[in-house]
Chains A and B, each alone.
Chain A
Amino acid sequence: MSAADFQPLVASESLGLGPDDACLSATQGLCNICGVQVEAKLIARSERVVLVKWCPEHGLSEGLVSSNRAWTTRAAGYLKPGTEPRRRATGEYRGCPTSCGLCPEHQQHTCVPLLEITPTCDMNCPICLVSKRVRPPLALGEVDSILDTLVACEGKLNMLTLTGGEPTQHPQFLEIVDRCHRPEIGIVSVSTNGLWIEENEDLVRALRDRGAVISLQFDGFDSQACQRLRGQPNLGERKRRAIDRVLALGGRLSLTFTLAKDTNEHELPAVLKLLFEEEQILSLMVQPLAIMGPRPASDLDRLTVPDAVSLLAQSSGGVLQESDFSPLPCSHPYCFALTYLLKLSSGGLVTLPSILDAETYLNLIKNQALVGTDRENLQDLRDALYRLWSSDGMMPQREGLLATMRKLILDLGRPGGPMSHREVLELGTRNVKSVFIHHFMDRSNFDLGRVVKCCNHYPQTDGRLLPACVRNNLA
């Protein structure tokens, strides 16, 4: 230390450090202003968990990680050993995330690959995560080589998501869906704005016939909310008609809902109602809003995972309780929360955590984001239901559960030899609905410690697999 380092001390409050800030741990984050990787610390500020950063150029900035410290503390205990991919595209660690893609030090395999097939989109949403990525649409050869990479790294994939841009704008969209239809790949999901659905019933049928799931971006019916989030009013009615059309044509849907503070919280009851009532709507994904690009120096007025948990519970008409949600242990536990609903053959839904003991339930969910997507997993579920039936304890909706269990046992033990990977997946999706919360990180709450365990990856044409939040914020 040289004399030049000598500086007077000043009261810490004068620099914006609150007397109630309790330092929890250190990590690396991004400056809210310039996006450069900087030192960061997680602090508890009364009930909230805040990421505070220091940038040599722009000084202090901060972002909200969680509005509920107890949730975050609990989540940190949800551990599940990472799964080793069969192959890693990056051979050498040269610093995280510099050598990303996945390097030997990445702590999770690729659970959900997000394949961007075109940058083109017929919308211009103010909150787009991926805007301004200029790149030509993928050639079929590139798709094949990416699929080869994924299969080489993973062996088999339960789900592959085609995204963009608007993936249906790719001139060879259906051909790409067909290329994805290989034995190692389970369900293909198409992440879409759905504006084409009314005009293009043929495409709906084509996707239905290929067993693809239409993953529809849908933020509710409120026109002000649509204007704010998507730059278009009246989008809600259009989406409503699109949903009806897919259902009428026998297609399968999952809904992706971007949840923004003081914008569309009040739309959750209607969206949950759709999920609960429509057989063909398999899941709901709620994404608390993340905004790419520069953020204000203090970015605390936003929703996080525990907010989404309470809003969902409040909006579910008693079907979901806050306690039904748990962090997803195979990803970083701060990134996801989820719950599952068992469809009763007698009609109605019951949440799995409400009927299973905690240990059984956690064993079911710990291995993947999709319950019931492999044979072992379905058998676990069946066994759990069997135990439930044979125990003397009180059981809600006993008759409905029994019927469901009988049907599962029959389906799983059907004569004609073992079911294919896809048949098992189909059986799972017929019996279980899911509600996910996924909080993508943006500049203000980006935490390198979470990236290390990311399982949502964007495959690149050069063979790398980039964690979603690295791709969105740093690529």
Chain B
Amino acid sequence: MESCALRPSGDANQVNYLGQSRGLCRECGDRVEVRYVARGQRVYLERLCPKHGKHDALVAGDLSWYLEAMSHDVAPCPPRKVRAEKQAPCPDACGPCLFHGQRCHLPVLPITNACNLRCPICFGYNRSAPYFMPPEEFAKRLDFLLEATGGVDLINITGGEPTLHPQLLDILRLAKRPGIGRITLNTNGLGLGRRPELAAALAELGIYVVLSLDTLHRERSTVLHGADIVDDKQRALATLQKHAIPTTILHVLVAGVNEDEMPSWLDLLAAESFVRSLTIQTMTYTGQGGSSFGPRRPIPVDEVERMIEGASAARIKVSDFMPLPTAHPLCYGVSYLFSDEAGSLHPMTRLLSKTEIAGMARDGYLLHPSDESNAAMKVALDRLWSEGAEPDILRILKNMLTALYPPGPPIDVYQRQRAAERFVKTIFVHAHMDEDTYEVGRAMRCPDQVVMDREHLVGACNFNLIYRMPDPLFGAGR
């Protein structure tokens, strides 16, 4: 008998209970029971606060998708090191505690709480009397990170707006050390357009840029960022292109505001060789701006995937996405795409099985092309050739295999990743949690961990919702 053989009907009156866990009451902050419940095809997280009653938030648009995603293989990858003693249930003893289920794959290092924008959608807290992390402190935090993890594929330097840091380049140089594969820098892009020397320096240091890009409409820009910064964004893109800086477009998708701009981001990803990946992050209604932004309409991962299918005229389908094996399926979906010189994207799922792809993605965000993946791709190549596949695809694959597995002595994993980037682009769909969608089972599987001080790695949503507020540097302050 097949799994999911009982096809739940679309009737919204049909309620299917799926599971229970713990979450947060938005009203009182108490740790309360939450439940996953399907009404018809839609899956909600229901919060049951004995003091403040029931509240629900959409976490998946389609029950069949949810059941399939939840049955996906989970990468067994507990943290290498955890805090010696656990003092409280999740999320109140994070660091990570011995209950944490996932290694840190994306360490996040905020270096300043200064920002030159006051975005109504911001989930952080910026200060008018800013803090700039001294490079010595940054170095100490890196020491801790490397001791805790034994080395990472990539790190993410963020803020506030990190390009406002007067010693940014010193900090970036400190981050270039053994054990750290790739340095990514978050930015709103204002500095890139206004200070040409900055981009040149970043290019020279081999920094990857994560550019926030939420809209190219002027009025929407004011709604989302409190100012019309469309020209700044265009200048930032031009600068990144000019310096060929490998770039991730970080797009915050806000219900009722910018959903119709999806085709622009897909076009950027396909057409521009400097754009290596696209991360669609759904709006999270928490923090300085976000908690009062409305109306609150959380968009689940699968809904975003469906929007991408629509915006790409089904060139990229929902079925071309899979849960990131190192995260919770409600937090991250991913699609890897072969990219050709002509500006087309070909989903990897058409050539390799999701199990084969998951095998390469077991160690985090970047594919780890191993000798096994070489074999799998060669088999796929043979199959495609015998099936009479398009010559374009065959050429991309052949070129890629030659670049990844050159004749002669084997190259290391970081070299392979860099080689693969020319051929493989990535779309991540990432749903942060806010108070309405928070569930400890997701937090326990979080691979994005904030280096909070010299002793704690805290999952990103635990940081945003619980640890950020009392943090002397990155919290709300007095």
Give the chain B neighbours of A249 by CB distance below 8 A.
none
Q: Would you call A12 and B82 a contact (CB within 8 A)? A: yes
Q: Would you call A10 and B81 a contact (CB within 8 A)? A: yes
Q: Would you call B78 and A19 a contact (CB within 8 A)? A: yes
Q: Would you call A1 and B87 a contact (CB within 8 A)? A: no
Which chain A residues numbered 63 to 93 have a C-beta less than 8 Å away from chain B? 73-74, 76-82, 93
Give the chain A neighbours of B85 by CB distance below 8 A.
7
Q: Would you call A81 and B14 a contact (CB within 8 A)? A: yes
B120 within 8 A of A: no
Q: Would you call B17 and A82 a contact (CB within 8 A)? A: yes
Give the chain B neighbours of A17 by CB distance below 8 A.
78, 82, 98
Give the chain B neighbours of A326 by CB distance below 8 A.
1
* Residue on B nearest A42 in the bound complex, by CB: B441
Q: A54-B86, A326-B1 are in contact. Are A362 and B6 (CB under 8 A)?
A: yes
Q: Would you call A26 and B38 a contact (CB within 8 A)? A: no
Give the chain A neighbours of B78 by CB distance below 8 A.
12, 17-19, 21, 23
Q: Would you call A38 and B67 a contact (CB within 8 A)? A: no
Query: Complex: how many Å from CA A116 to CA B20?
Result: 29
Q: Would you call A95 and B33 a contact (CB within 8 A)? A: yes
Query: Complex: how many Å from CA A18 to CA B440?
Result: 21
A395 within 8 A of B: no
Q: Would you call B101 and A329 a contact (CB within 8 A)? A: no
Give the chain B neighbours of A78 by CB distance below 8 A.
5-6
Q: Would you call B79 and A12 a contact (CB within 8 A)? A: yes
Give the chain B neighbours of A39 by CB distance below 8 A.
22, 89-90, 99, 440
Interchain nearest-CB distance for B453 vs A (Å): 8
* Residue on B nearest A15 in the bound complex, by CB: B98
Give the chain B neighbours of A8 by CB distance below 8 A.
83-84, 455
The stretch of A231-239, A274-282, A288-296, A448-456 that contacts the partner chain: A448-456
* Residue on A nearest B148 in the bound complex, by CB: A9
Which chain A residues numbered 405 to 429 have a C-beta less than 8 Å away from chain B? none
* Residue on B nearest A38 in the bound complex, by CB: B89
* Residue on A nearest B11 in the bound complex, by CB: A81
Query: Complex: how many Å from CA A23 to CA B452?
Result: 23
Q: Would you call A41 and B441 a contact (CB within 8 A)? A: yes
Q: Which of A15, A26, A107, A353 contacts B82 (CB 8 A)?
A: A15
B3 within 8 A of A: yes
Q: Would you call A1 and B71 a contact (CB within 8 A)? A: no
B67, B101, B441, B444 pick with most chain A CB within 10 angstroms: B101
Q: Would you call A12 and B80 a contact (CB within 8 A)? A: yes
Q: Would you call B470 and A82 a contact (CB within 8 A)? A: no
Interchain nearest-CB distance for A24 vs B (Å): 6
Q: Would you call B1 and A323 a contact (CB within 8 A)? A: yes
Query: Complex: how many Å from CA A7 to CA B85?
Result: 8
A359 within 8 A of B: yes
Q: Would you call A25 and B441 a contact (CB within 8 A)? A: yes
Q: Would you call B16 and A21 a contact (CB within 8 A)? A: no
B396 within 8 A of A: no
Give the chain A neighbours of B167 by CB distance below 8 A.
none
Which chain A residues numbered 1 to 54 have a C-beta less than 8 Å away from chain B? 1, 5-12, 15, 17-28, 38-39, 41, 43-44, 52, 54
Query: Complex: how many Å from CA A17 to CA B103?
Result: 13
Query: Complex: how many Å from CA A60 to CA B4?
Result: 34
* Residue on A nearest B73 in the bound complex, by CB: A22
Q: A1-B470, A5-B87, A39-B90 are in contact. Are A23 and B444 (CB under 8 A)?
A: yes
Q: Would you call A449 and B1 a contact (CB within 8 A)? A: no
Query: Complex: how many Å from CA A193 to CA B388?
Result: 70
Query: Complex: how many Å from CA A11 to CA B83?
Result: 9
A23, A26, A329 pick with most chain B CB within 10 angstroms: A26
Interface residues on B, range: 35 or more
Q: A76-B70, A81-B15 are in contact. Are A22 and B76 (CB under 8 A)?
A: yes
Q: Would you call B82 and A9 a contact (CB within 8 A)? A: yes
Q: Which of B6, B77, B95, B440 contacts A26 (CB 8 A)?
A: B440
Q: Would you call A41 and B101 a contact (CB within 8 A)? A: yes
Query: Complex: how many Å from CA A311 to CA B299?
Result: 46
A20, A80, A105, A362 pick with most chain B CB within 10 angstroms: A105
Give the chain A neighbours of B98 by CB distance below 8 A.
12, 15, 17, 54, 60
Q: Would you call A449 and B21 a contact (CB within 8 A)? A: yes
Give the chain B neighbours of A96 by CB distance below 8 A.
20, 33, 48
Q: Would you call B467 and A1 a contact (CB within 8 A)? A: yes
Q: Would you call A362 and B81 a contact (CB within 8 A)? A: no
Q: A7-B84, A105-B48 are in contact. Are A54 and B89 (CB under 8 A)?
A: yes
Give the chain B neighbours of A362 by CB distance below 8 A.
1, 5-6
B233 within 8 A of A: no
Interchain nearest-CB distance for A38 vs B (Å): 7
Query: Complex: how many Å from CA A59 to CA B99?
Result: 11
B445 within 8 A of A: yes
Q: Would you call B48 and A22 a contact (CB within 8 A)? A: no
B75 within 8 A of A: yes
Query: Complex: how many Å from CA A126 to CA B21?
Result: 34
Query: Complex: how many Å from CA A9 to CA B4?
Result: 42
Q: Would you call B5 and A452 a contact (CB within 8 A)? A: no
A403 within 8 A of B: no
Interchain nearest-CB distance for A45 vs B (Å): 8
Query: Complex: how many Å from CA A453 to CA B70?
Result: 19
Query: Complex: how many Å from CA A116 to CA B195?
Result: 80
A206 within 8 A of B: no
Interchain nearest-CB distance for A44 vs B (Å): 6
Q: A326-369 CB contact bits vs B (8 Å, 1 = yes)?
A: 10010000000000000000000000010000110110001000
B2 within 8 A of A: yes
Give the chain B neighbours of A448 by CB distance below 8 A.
20
Interchain nearest-CB distance for A250 vs B (Å): 37
Interchain nearest-CB distance for B476 vs A (Å): 15
A94 within 8 A of B: yes
B19 within 8 A of A: yes
Query: Complex: how many Å from CA A290 to CA B101?
Result: 28
Q: Would you call A44 and B48 a contact (CB within 8 A)? A: no
* Residue on A nearest B13 in the bound complex, by CB: A81
Q: Which of A11, A38, A358 contacts B2 (CB 8 A)?
A: A358
Q: Would you call B74 and A44 a contact (CB within 8 A)? A: yes
* Residue on B nearest A98 in the bound complex, by CB: B50
Q: Which of B20, B38, B89 contacts A449 (CB 8 A)?
A: B20
Query: Complex: how many Å from CA A80 to CA B8?
Result: 7
Give the chain A neighbours of B6 by CB distance below 8 A.
77-80, 329, 362, 366
Query: Complex: how many Å from CA A433 to CA B84?
Result: 55
Q: A76-B67, A359-B5, A452-B35 are in contact. Are A27 and B21 (CB under 8 A)?
A: yes
B439 within 8 A of A: yes
Query: Complex: how many Å from CA A310 to CA B69?
Result: 27
Give the chain B neighbours of A23 by CB distance below 8 A.
74, 78, 100-102, 444-445
Q: B79-120 CB contact bits vs A (8 Å, 1 = yes)?
A: 111111111111001010011111000000000000000000
Interchain nearest-CB distance for B343 vs A (Å): 38
* Residue on A nearest B34 in the bound complex, by CB: A26
A-B contact pairs, 22 of them (CB 8 A): A5-B93, A6-B455, A9-B95, A10-B81, A17-B82, A20-B76, A23-B102, A27-B20, A38-B89, A39-B22, A39-B90, A39-B440, A44-B74, A44-B76, A56-B87, A59-B86, A73-B3, A76-B70, A77-B4, A80-B6, A81-B8, A358-B2
The list of the 9 closest CB pairs from A to B, nearest first, reads A23-B101, A26-B441, A77-B4, A22-B76, A107-B17, A39-B89, A9-B81, A22-B74, A74-B3
- Known pairs A19-B76, A23-B444 / 5 extra A-B pairs, C-beta < 8 Å: A9-B84, A10-B81, A60-B98, A79-B6, A353-B1
